[in-house]
């Protein structure tokens, strides 16, 4: 079969294709320049096979990635979740990039059984303009035929006739379980087909095994083994939009609102909605309320009203029950609140609005990354490789055994049925458990009876961003629950130096979760020029610990305070920096509060611009994004928006690169996709400005395409926070206060607080799979202070994916191969 080499400029053909029963990594181990014959060696098992080249280009020793089996990659999708189209697009394009023929099956398993025009070969252009579409463009359908042996036999016949032995399935646990059963029966099905004369023995031999890779599409996020399933974040966006709208009317009329969200067996949507909206109560299947919950709920709502709140919000998962398995419904709660408290109460059931709409930026990037990883998994699969599912752990793509994940998912359901609710929460995974613990902590209304006599100051530093207020609210309330006196500092370090400090109460931060910007006020001024005034006010207001929420200025300001400890003993207090900036450039954290909201703003703008370009034809848009020297926004928006190029500081470029990009767009205009989208980070290059690139593209594209430019500006810093930023800010704020509480106990000496060790001043951030504290002194070594970015950034490894999906001929770095993990061994016995 023919396959392109991705690193060298030639095409080779397998001389003995029957020798290849596996795909994977192959390297050149011998070259005969007389007859252009080469020998390929399998990197994994050292198997050697002779090949020859089609022409006499120079051969270089290198590692190549190629599909060199006669069973070509086939992609099958069974789902209808927002964000699925990004996965379809990624698998199709990366499959084509690796030299495979790619097929899509329309109408799910039914299309697989029916065959014929339901199984169609995909092209590069056929998956264009899909990213912004909800649902799935290839359709889905429930299929009773596939549940029968006869139906699966017909499906196998359709695949064998097309030479398809690699299958990518997107769906829930039921769809993935069906795919695994199909794989386990494959040999038996082939025997049935040979005996019936529907396929030949040679065809059966060529299709002797079936590789399966799964991706989970479910808005409920009910599949164990992954932090987020494709579609969940988009569903949360729909829910939060409704909650924000309901909150407005509820405040006006002093009403109680009960909102039912999806989640028949999993309460993830309800739980995160409760955290992101500051709801008064949440009902989820995994943790039913204790006996007597009716009285407890009424007390909670009454207490809230007594604190001056004009509304109450209760979130209910559709599968919520009490401890005896009796369903808890919206109407039941409405009748309870109306009769017992006399509150004006309304109930809203969101229904299928949660499944639709435009996919969020997170879901588009998740779908794209999962699609690439799925193709890589198929490339490396052997007959002995168990069916795997591509999952998300923190910000890492991982592979897990499919049936282990399905088993743990079933174990959750059984644990709930048996009344083992704490175990059910643990089985859901660390992310779910963390959300539940944070909710339990913040769900209290009454502060601690015993006061700690500890004063903790909270400030915002740097540029404002969405999600800052959620972090402040969480920190304030967690501190009050710990018995501390909470102080807020207005206008950053300037406010600390000028004494703009005041105490804040529980009720004062009640509605802050959904508010954008910074209610405390924030400035970029660094403390080094006013250290003495700051130290005097720290002593005056008796501040024992400090929470600094902000961007790179917060990081540098924290280090300034630590440096000043040598001279000013008043600054020997524990300090924690919480990253909050649209630029996502704070060392010590893979993500910053505010970056997700900004990314969604850019992505939405790109969608509208692409729509305009599609209507006018032959038009290229150049868009400038924020980020300073950090190219995170430009890169991730490029992935989410389907950009043709994204210029960033971290990846230097010159006039030759610009020329290649222009030529690429010229060629693109010859296809059916007659539009272009180019992103430029604001400080990617001092000479190649947005105006320069616009003028260059306009001149070189004359007669082929015209150009427009758009500088997004400060619109990226505004808006209401996304569900991710609200949830992330809430968890970071709470965790920071709990850490400070423990650190204050360690630093209490001779009747006062004295903290001067490096680990007493830290950044709290997400690293891969966990929230971790890292000392400012340690992070200083990994920081580029001139350009205000970390020296190493995880998202740079996603850059080749952006280029491949834009049809550039670049190499995909697979040096860090994803190893299949065991979810059961990792969790251990509970």
Q: Mark the binding-site residues for substrate, compressed into ranges.
A: 218-220, 255, 262-264, 318, 346, 352-355
- Distance CA(625)–CA(635), nearest Å, equals 10
E runs forming strands in 267-319: 281-283, 312-317
Residue 713 burial by CB count (10 A; 0-12/13-18/19+): exposed, middle or buried? exposed
Q: Are 413 and 130 in contact (CB under 8 A)?
A: no
Pairing of strands 455-461, 675-681: unpaired
Residue numbers belonging to the annotated binding site: 142-143, 172-175, 218-220, 255, 262-264, 318, 346, 352-355, 524, 581-585, 619, 626-628, 682, 708, 714-717, 788
Place of tokens 């993935």: 176
- Distance CA(535)–CA(457), nearest Å, equals 13
- The C-alpha angle with vertex 498 and arms to 495 and 500, in degrees rounded to 5, equals 50
Cβ contacts of residue 494 below 8 Å, gap of 6+? 500, 523, 525, 530
DSSP 357: S
Residue 599, CB half-sphere, CA atoms under 13 Å: how many? 31
- Distance CA(439)–CA(31), nearest Å, equals 64
Residue 778 burial by CB count (10 A; 0-12/13-18/19+): exposed, middle or buried? middle
Residue numbers belonging to the annotated binding site for ATP: 142-143, 172-175
3 state SS for 406-450: HHHHHHHHHHHHCCCHHHHHHHCCHHHHHHHHHHHHHCCCCCCCC
Cβ contacts of residue 325 below 8 Å, gap of 6+? none
Q: Helical H runs in 18-134?
A: 84-97, 108-114
Would you please indicate which residues are annotated as catalytic (active-site) residues?
A: 220
Residue numbers belonging to the annotated binding site for beta-D-fructose 2,6-bisphosphate: 524, 581-585, 619, 626-628, 682, 708, 714-717, 788
Q: Are 206 and 222 in contact (CB under 8 A)?
A: no
CA torsion sign for 321, 327, 330, 333 is: negative
3 state SS for 781-822: CCEECCCCEECCCHHHHHHHHHHHHCCCCCCCCCCCCCCECC
Tokens (6 digits) for 324? 């005896």
- Distance CA(597)–CA(782), nearest Å, equals 26
Tokens (6 digits) for 811? 């190499």
Cβ contacts of residue 449 below 8 Å, gap of 6+? none
Grouping H, G, I as helix, E, B as strand and the rest as coil, residue 518 is coil
The maximal CA–CA distance of the chain, rounded, in angstroms, is 93
Residue numbers belonging to the annotated binding site for Mg(2+): 173
Q: Are 193 and 204 in contact (CB under 8 A)?
A: yes
Q: Which residues of 493-518 are buried (b: 16+ CB within 10 A; e: fewer)?
A: bbbbbeebbeebebebbbbbbbbbbb
- Distance CA(464)–CA(461), nearest Å, equals 8
């Amino acid at each position: 079969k023919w396959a392109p080499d991705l690193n060298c400029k030639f095409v080779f053909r397998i001389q003995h294709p029957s020798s290849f029963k596996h795909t994977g990594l192959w390297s050149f181990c011998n070259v005969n320049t007389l007859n252009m014959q080469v020998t390929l060696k399998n990197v994994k098992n050292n198997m050697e096979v002779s090949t020859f080249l089609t022409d006499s280009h120079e051969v270089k020793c290198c590692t190549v990635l190629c599909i060199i089996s006669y069973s070509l990659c086939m992609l099958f999708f069974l789902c209808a979740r927002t964000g699925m189209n990004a996965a379809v697009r990624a698998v199709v394009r990366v499959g084509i990039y690796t030299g495979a023929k790619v097929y899509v099956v329309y109408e799910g398993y039914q299309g697989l059984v029916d065959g014929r025009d339901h199984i169609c070969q995909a092209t590069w252009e056929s998956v264009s303009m899909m990213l912004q579409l909800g649902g799935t463009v290839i359709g889905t359908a429930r299929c009773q035929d596939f549940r029968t042996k006869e139906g699966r036999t017909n499906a196998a016949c359709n695949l064998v006739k097309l030479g398809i032995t690699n299958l990518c399935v997107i769906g829930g646990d039921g769809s993935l379980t069906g795919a695994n059963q199909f794989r386990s029966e494959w040999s038996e099905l082939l025997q049935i087909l040979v005996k019936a004369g529907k396929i030949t023995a040679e065809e059966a031999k060529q299709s002797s095994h079936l590789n399966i890779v799964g991706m989970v599409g479910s808005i409920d996020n009910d599949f164990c083994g992954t932090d987020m399933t494709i579609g969940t974040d988009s569903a949360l966006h729909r829910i939060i939009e409704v909650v924000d709208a309901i909150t407005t009317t509820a405040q006006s009329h002093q009403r109680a609102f009960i909102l039912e969200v999806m989640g028949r067996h999993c309460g993830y949507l309800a739980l995160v909605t409760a955290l992101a909206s500051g709801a008064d109560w949440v009902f989820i299947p995994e943790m039913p309320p204790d006996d007597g919950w009716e009285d407890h709920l009424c007390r909670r709502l009454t207490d809230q009203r007594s604190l001056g709140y004009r509304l109450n919000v209760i979130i209910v998962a559709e599968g919520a029950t009490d401890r005896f398995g009796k369903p808890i419904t919206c109407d039941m709660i409405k009748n309870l609140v109306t009769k017992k408290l006399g509150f004006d109460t309304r109930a809203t059931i969101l229904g299928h609005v949660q499944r639709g709409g435009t996919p969020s930026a997170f879901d588009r990037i998740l779908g794209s990354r999962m699609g690439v990883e799925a193709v890589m998994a198929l490339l490396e699969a052997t007959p002995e490789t168990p069916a795997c599912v591509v999952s998300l752990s923190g910000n890492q793509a991982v592979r897990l055994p499919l049936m282990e994940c399905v088993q743990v998912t079933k174990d959750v359901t059984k644990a709930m049925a048996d009344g083992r609710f704490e175990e059910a929460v643990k089985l859901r995974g660390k992310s779910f458990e963390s959300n539940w613990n944070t909710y339990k902590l913040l769900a209290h209304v009454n502060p601690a009876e015993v006061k700690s006599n500890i004063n903790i100051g909270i400030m915002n530093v740097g540029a404002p961003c969405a999600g800052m207020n959620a972090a402040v609210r969480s920190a304030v309330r967690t501190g009050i629950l710990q018995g501390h006196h909470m102080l807020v500092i207005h206008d950053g370090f300037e406010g600390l130096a000028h004494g703009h400090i005041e105490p804040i109460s529980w009720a004062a931060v009640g509605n802050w979760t959904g508010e954008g910007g910074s209610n405390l006020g924030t400035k970029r001024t660094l403390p080094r020029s006013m250290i003495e005034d700051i130290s005097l006010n720290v002593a005056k207001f008796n501040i024992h610990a400090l929470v600094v929420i902000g961007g790179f200025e917060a990081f540098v300001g924290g280090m300034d305070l630590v440096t000043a400890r040598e001279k000013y003993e008043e600054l020997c207090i524990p300090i924690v920096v919480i990253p909050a900036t649209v630029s996502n450039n704070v060392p010590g954290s893979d993500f910053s509060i505010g970056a997700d909201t900004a990314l969604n703003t850019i992505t939405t703008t790109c969608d509208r611009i692409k729509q305009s370009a599609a209507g006018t034809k032959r038009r290229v848009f150049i868009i400038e994004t924020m980020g300073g020297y950090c190219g995170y926004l430009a890169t991730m928006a490029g992935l989410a928006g389907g950009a043709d190029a994204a210029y960033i500081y971290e990846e230097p470029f010159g006039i030759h690169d610009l020329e290649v990009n222009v030529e690429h767009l010229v060629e693109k205009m010859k296809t059916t996709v007659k539009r272009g989208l180019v992103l430029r980070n604001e400080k990617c290059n001092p000479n190649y400005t947005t105006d320069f690139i616009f003028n260059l593209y306009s001149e070189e594209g004359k007669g082929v395409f015209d150009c427009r430019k758009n500088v997004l500006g400060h619109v990226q810093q505004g808006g209401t926070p996304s569900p991710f930023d609200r949830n992330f800010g809430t968890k970071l704020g709470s965790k920071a206060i709990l850490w400070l509480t423990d650190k204050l106990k360690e630093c209490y000496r001779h009747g006062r607080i004295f903290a001067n060790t490096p680990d007493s001043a830290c950044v709290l951030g997400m690293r891969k799979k966990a929230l971790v504290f890292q000392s400012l002194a340690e992070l200083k070594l990994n920081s580029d202070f001139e350009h205000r970015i970390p020296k190493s950034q995880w998202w740079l490894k996603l850059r080749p994916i952006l280029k491949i999906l834009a049809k550039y001929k670049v190499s995909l770095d697979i040096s860090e191969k994803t190893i299949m993990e065991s979810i059961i061994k990792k969790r251990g016995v509970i």
